[in-house]
Chain A
Amino acid sequence: MQIAARRLDQVTIFDITGHIDLANSPELRKVLLKELKETKTPRVILNLTGVRYIDSSGVASLVEGLKAARDQGLRFILYGLSPSAREVLQLSRLIKIFEVFDNEQQALA
């Protein structure tokens, strides 16, 4: 998994590529919590276009990110879900609690 950050005005977009699993979900969690709890960027967007697989530990990291955002009154947005990533969020019934968009334009609107 690779994470690259793009910082815009009041928005940070994390471009994530690869697979998110037990091997690297702690890293994702750390990056997200730092951005949300320390930097407190008003809108944090995850570009998941390059993510082919997310396991339950990856979903847990996303949920922790969402909770941290809610605690801080920030927005936490996902876009570009692959079929596999969408299936996992639907299976866990968590897709309805996230702000999910198809593309970056919608996520930034």
Chain B
Amino acid sequence: MLAESQGVERLHTSGLLLDLTLASDPQLLCVVRAAIERLTEVSGFSPPECRSITRAVDEAVANVMRHAYGSSPDKRIDVSCKRIAGMVNGIQREGLEIELLDQGVPFDQKKLTARSLDEVKPGGLGLHFIRDSMDVMEHSHKDGVNRLRLVKYFSAEGKGQTSQGE
């Protein structure tokens, strides 16, 4: 459902907003980006935040394709997006939660450290982009499934926050 809010078409639906299942083929990254970009727009995020969230999800899905599935293009990736609300540091917050599921190689904690930005070298930037863009980044592995949970909160003005943690 779309409704006019503060001059922006805001999505007022709560709970599940979008459920995508895709093959681990990099040619499909543009499809994911298009879907997330539009979803963040109708959710009411600002244009820079829309680009930022889209970039984070794109990098996260690309990491699954490259690292979890070793560039095998025919594996399954699930991406679901929900509108969430809850208390964060004693403040009522609303936000967008994006969950990625895959059945690939478990996350290697040692490799989950973004490289220093003082180094001029290719690679290692994806994690940095994700952490920079999102308020929450959590990963877990259970019963053969990798789960990555990303959250971006709205500010009181309807724009996303840049605070860390949950």
A binds B: yes
* Bound complex: CA A63 to CA B123 (Å): 9
> Among residues 24 to 42 in chain A, which have CB atoms less than 8 Å away from a CB atom of chain B?
none
Chain B positions near chain A (C-beta within 8 angstroms): 26-27, 29-30, 33, 48, 51-52, 55, 58-59, 62, 65-66, 117-118, 120-123, 125-126, 128-129, 132
Pairwise interchain contact B27-A60, C-beta atoms closer than 8 A: no
Q: By CB atoms of chain B within 10 A, which of A22, A61, A88 has the most?
A: A22
Q: Counting CB contacts under 8 A, is A57 at the interface?
A: yes
Pairwise interchain contact B120-A57, C-beta atoms closer than 8 A: no
Given A55-B59, A55-B62, A60-B123, does the pair A91, B132 have CB atoms closer than 8 Å?
A: yes
Pairwise interchain contact A57-B55, C-beta atoms closer than 8 A: no
Pairwise interchain contact A56-B129, C-beta atoms closer than 8 A: yes
Pairwise interchain contact B117-A21, C-beta atoms closer than 8 A: no
Pairwise interchain contact A56-B51, C-beta atoms closer than 8 A: no
* Bound complex: CA A67 to CA B120 (Å): 9
Given A22-B29, A56-B129, A92-B128, does the pair A83, B51 have CB atoms closer than 8 Å?
A: yes
Pairs of residues from A and B, 7 with the lowest C-beta to C-beta distance, nearest first: A60-B122, A23-B26, A56-B125, A22-B26, A56-B126, A63-B122, A93-B117
Q: Counting CB contacts under 8 A, is A94 at the interface?
A: yes
- Chain A contact residues (Cβ within 8 angstroms of B): what range? 20 to 34
B126: chain A residues within 8 A (beta carbon): 55-57
B30: chain A residues within 8 A (beta carbon): 19, 21, 23
Minimum distance in angstroms from B46 CB to a CB of chain A: 12
Pairwise interchain contact A91-B128, C-beta atoms closer than 8 A: yes
Pairwise interchain contact B48-A87, C-beta atoms closer than 8 A: yes
Pairwise interchain contact A92-B125, C-beta atoms closer than 8 A: yes
Pairwise interchain contact A63-B26, C-beta atoms closer than 8 A: no
Pairwise interchain contact B125-A22, C-beta atoms closer than 8 A: no
Q: Counting CB contacts under 8 A, is A11 at the interface?
A: no
Minimum distance in angstroms from B36 CB to a CB of chain A: 12
Minimum distance in angstroms from B91 CB to a CB of chain A: 27
